[in-house]
Structure 1
Amino acid sequence: MVVSVRIRRRFVLLLLVAFTCLSLRLCFGEDRITFSTPIKDSDSESLLCKSGIFRFGFFTPVNSTTKLRYVGIWYDKIPLQTVVWVANKDTPINDTSGVISISPDNGNLVITAGRNRLLWSTNVTVPVAPNATWVRLMDSGNLMLPDNRNNGGTLWESFKHPYDSFMPRMTLGTNGTTKENLRLTSWRSHDDPSTGNYTAGIAPFTFPELLIWKNNDISWRSGPWNGQVFIGLPNMDSLLFLDGFNLISDSQGTISMSYANDSFMYHFNLDPEGAIYQKDWSTSMKDWRIGVRFPKTDCDAYARCGQYATCQALEKPPCKCVKGFMPRNSTEWNRGNWSNGCERRTLLRCQRQNNESNGGGGGKEDGFVKMQKMKVPISAERSETKEDVCPKVCLDNCSCTAYAYDQGIGCMIWSVSLVDMQSFLGSGTDLYIRVAHSELKTHSNRAIMIAAPVIGVVLIAAVCVLLACRRFRKRPAAPVKDRSAEILFKRMEELTSGNESASNQVKLKDLPLFEFQVLATSTDNFSLRNKLGQGGFGPVYKGQLPEGQEIAVKRLSRKSGQGLEELMNEVVVISKLQHRNLVRLLGCCIEGEERLLVYEYMPKKSLDAYLFDPMKQHILDWKTRFNIMEGICRGLLYLHRDSRLKIIHRDLKASNILLDENLNPKISDFGLARVFQGNEDEANTRRVVGTYGYMSPEYAMEGFFSEKSDVFSLGVIFLEIISGRRNSSSFKEEKNLNLLAYAWKLWSDGEAASLADPVVFDKCFEKEIEKCVQIGLLCVQEFSNDRPNVSNVIWMLTTENTNLAQPKQPAFIVRRGVSEAESSDQSSQKASINDVSLTAVTGR
Structure 2
Amino acid sequence: MIDNITVVVFCLLLLISYMRTSTSLDSLSVNQYIKDGETLVSANGTFEMGFFSPGNSKGRYLGMWYKNLTPFTVLWVANRETPVNNNSGGVLKLNQNGVLVILNGANNTVWSSNISNKGGVTVVNNSTTAQLLDTGNLVLKIGPENILWQSFDYPCDILLPGMKLGWNLLTGSWNGRAFTGYPIQPLKQQQKFEFVMTDKEVYHRYEIIDKSLICVYRLTLSGNLEALVWTNHTNSMDGNIAKCECLKGYVPKNPDQWNISYWSSGCFPKMKSICGNNNTSGFLKYKEMKLPDTSSSWYNKTMNLVECQKLCLKNCSCTAYANTDIRNGGSGCLLWFDDVFDMRLYEQWGQDLYIRVPSEPDHVSVDIPGSKDNWMMHNKAVLIIVGFFTFTCIIIFIRRLASRVYGLLLFPKWQVYSRLRKEDMDLPVFDFSILVKASNNFSSVNKLGEGGFGPVYKGTLVDGKEVAIKRHSKVSDQGLEEFKNEIALIAKLQHRNLVNLLGCCIHKEEMLLLYEYMPNKSLDYFIFDETRSKLLVWTHRSNIIAGIARGLLYLHQDSRLKIIHRDMKTSNILLDAHMNPKISDFGLARTFRGDQVEAKTKKMVGTYGYMPPEYAVHGRYSMKSDVFSFGVIVLEIISGNKIKRFYDPEHSLNLLGHAWRLWIENMPMELLDTDLLDMCISSEVIRCIHVGLLCVQQKPGDRPDMSSVILMLNGEKLLPQPKAPGFYTGNGSTETISPSSNQMSATNFVGR
TM range (shorter): 0.5 to 0.7
- In 1, Cα distance between equivalents of 2:400 and 2:497: 25
Match of residue 254 from structure 1 = 202
Larger radius of gyration: 1
Taking a change above 3 Å as real, the CA distance of residues 581 and 785 of structure 1, as seen in their structure-2 partners, is closer
Matches within 5 A, 1:370-519: 370-379=285-294, 380-383=297-300, 384-405=302-323, 406=326, 407-438=329-360, 441=363
Matches within 5 A, 1:576-655: 579-581=495-497, 632-636=545-549, 655=568
Taking a change above 3 Å as real, the CA distance of residues 292 and 256 of structure 1, as seen in their structure-2 partners, is farther
Match of residue 252 from structure 2 = 327
Taking a change above 3 Å as real, the CA distance of residues 811 and 631 of structure 1, as seen in their structure-2 partners, is closer
The C-alpha deviation readout for 1:381-434, integer Å capped at 9, x for no partner, is 324433334332221222211122443433332223211111233353222211
- In 1, Cα distance between equivalents of 2:252 and 2:200: 40
Taking a change above 3 Å as real, the CA distance of residues 770 and 113 of structure 1, as seen in their structure-2 partners, is farther
- Kindly report the root-mean-square deviation, in angstroms, between the aligned alpha carbons of the 2 structures: 6.7
Residue from 206, 215, 218 that aligns with 1:270: 218
Residue from 133, 138, 145 that aligns with 1:143: 138
The one-letter amino acid of 1:393's match is L
Q: Does 1:774 align with 2:693?
A: no
Q: CA deviation at 1:21?
A: 3.4
1:267 counterpart SS class: strand
The C-alpha deviation readout for 1:73-121, integer Å capped at 9, x for no partner, is 0111234312211122233345232313347696532334354554332
The one-letter amino acid of 1:431's match is L
Q: Does 1:168 align with 2:161?
A: yes
Q: CA deviation at 1:634?
A: 1.8
Taking a change above 3 Å as real, the CA distance of residues 50 and 113 of structure 1, as seen in their structure-2 partners, is same
The one-letter amino acid of 1:204's match is L
- In 2, Cα distance between equivalents of 1:274 and 1:612: 33
Q: CA deviation at 1:57?
A: 1.1
Match of residue 363 from structure 1 = 278
Q: Does 1:717 align with 2:636?
A: yes
Structure 1 residues without counterparts, runs of 5 or longer? 1-8, 175-202, 210-222, 300-312, 354-361, 450-517, 526-541, 552-573, 585-600, 605-609, 672-689, 694-704, 746-754, 756-768, 790-807
- In 1, Cα distance between equivalents of 2:25 and 2:157: 26
Match of residue 78 from structure 2 = 87
Match of residue 155 from structure 1 = 148
Q: CA deviation at 1:740?
A: 7.3
Match of residue 39 from structure 1 = 34
- In 2, Cα distance between equivalents of 1:443 and 1:777: 68
- In 2, Cα distance between equivalents of 1:520 and 1:833: 40
- In 2, Cα distance between equivalents of 1:433 and 1:408: 17
Are the counterparts in 1 of residues 32 and 94 from structure 2 also a CA contact under 8 Å? no
1:333 counterpart SS class: helix
Q: CA deviation at 1:640?
A: 9.2
- In 1, Cα distance between equivalents of 2:103 and 2:89: 6
- In 1, Cα distance between equivalents of 2:628 and 2:166: 55
- In 2, Cα distance between equivalents of 1:235 and 1:711: 30
Are the counterparts in 2 of residues 29 and 47 from structure 1 also a CA contact under 8 Å? yes
The C-alpha deviation readout for 1:488-525, integer Å capped at 9, x for no partner, is xxxxxxxxxxxxxxxxxxxxxxxxxxxxxx99988999
- In 2, Cα distance between equivalents of 1:124 and 1:719: 58
Match of residue 686 from structure 2 = 787
1:372 counterpart SS class: strand
Structure 2 residues without counterparts, runs of 5 or longer? 367-380, 386-398, 407-416, 427-489, 501-511, 516-520, 576-580, 593-610, 615-623, 662-670, 706-725, 745-752
- In 2, Cα distance between equivalents of 1:437 and 1:709: 46
Q: Does 1:245 align with 2:193?
A: yes
The one-letter amino acid of 2:676's match is Q
Taking a change above 3 Å as real, the CA distance of residues 112 and 523 of structure 1, as seen in their structure-2 partners, is same
Matches within 5 A, 1:4-403: 19-34=14-29, 36-41=31-36, 44-61=37-54, 64-93=55-84, 95-102=86-93, 107-113=98-104, 115-116=106-107, 118-125=109-116, 128=123, 134-146=129-141, 148=142, 153-174=146-167, 203-205=168-170, 209=172, 223-226=173-176, 228-232=177-181, 236=185, 239-240=187-188, 243-250=191-198, 254-259=202-207, 263=211, 266-270=214-218, 272=220, 276=225, 281-282=230-231, 290=234, 297=239, 313=242, 318-350=243-275, 353=276, 362-379=277-294, 380-383=297-300, 384-403=302-321
The one-letter amino acid of 1:334's match is N
The C-alpha deviation readout for 1:648-677, integer Å capped at 9, x for no partner, is x9x999747794999942598999xxxxxx
- In 2, Cα distance between equivalents of 1:337 and 1:434: 25
Q: CA deviation at 1:31?
A: 2.4
Taking a change above 3 Å as real, the CA distance of residues 157 and 810 of structure 1, as seen in their structure-2 partners, is farther
1:319 counterpart SS class: coil
The one-letter amino acid of 1:726's match is K
The one-letter amino acid of 1:421's match is M
Are the counterparts in 2 of residues 373 and 423 from structure 1 also a CA contact under 8 Å? yes
- In 2, Cα distance between equivalents of 1:404 and 1:342: 20
Taking a change above 3 Å as real, the CA distance of residues 443 and 30 of structure 1, as seen in their structure-2 partners, is closer
Q: CA deviation at 1:164?
A: 2.7
- In 1, Cα distance between equivalents of 2:330 and 2:528: 38
1:388 counterpart SS class: helix
- In 2, Cα distance between equivalents of 1:423 and 1:664: 37
1:385 counterpart SS class: coil
After the TM superposition, which of the residue ranges 90-99 and 70-79 deviates more from structure 2?
A: 90-99
2:162 counterpart SS class: coil
**TM-score, scaled to structure 1:** 0.50
Q: CA deviation at 1:134?
A: 4.4
Identity over the aligned pairs, expressed in percent?
Answer: 26
- In 1, Cα distance between equivalents of 2:100 and 2:546: 59
- In 2, Cα distance between equivalents of 1:644 and 1:811: 20
Q: CA deviation at 1:821?
A: 8.4
Taking a change above 3 Å as real, the CA distance of residues 546 and 835 of structure 1, as seen in their structure-2 partners, is farther
Taking a change above 3 Å as real, the CA distance of residues 255 and 716 of structure 1, as seen in their structure-2 partners, is same
The one-letter amino acid of 1:787's match is I
Q: How many residues are treated as equivalent by the alignment?
A: 548
Are the counterparts in 1 of residues 290 and 346 from structure 2 also a CA contact under 8 Å? yes
- In 2, Cα distance between equivalents of 1:427 and 1:52: 35
Taking a change above 3 Å as real, the CA distance of residues 35 and 778 of structure 1, as seen in their structure-2 partners, is farther
Are the counterparts in 1 of residues 61 and 78 from structure 2 also a CA contact under 8 Å? yes
Are the counterparts in 2 of residues 691 and 823 from structure 1 also a CA contact under 8 Å? no
- In 1, Cα distance between equivalents of 2:84 and 2:678: 39
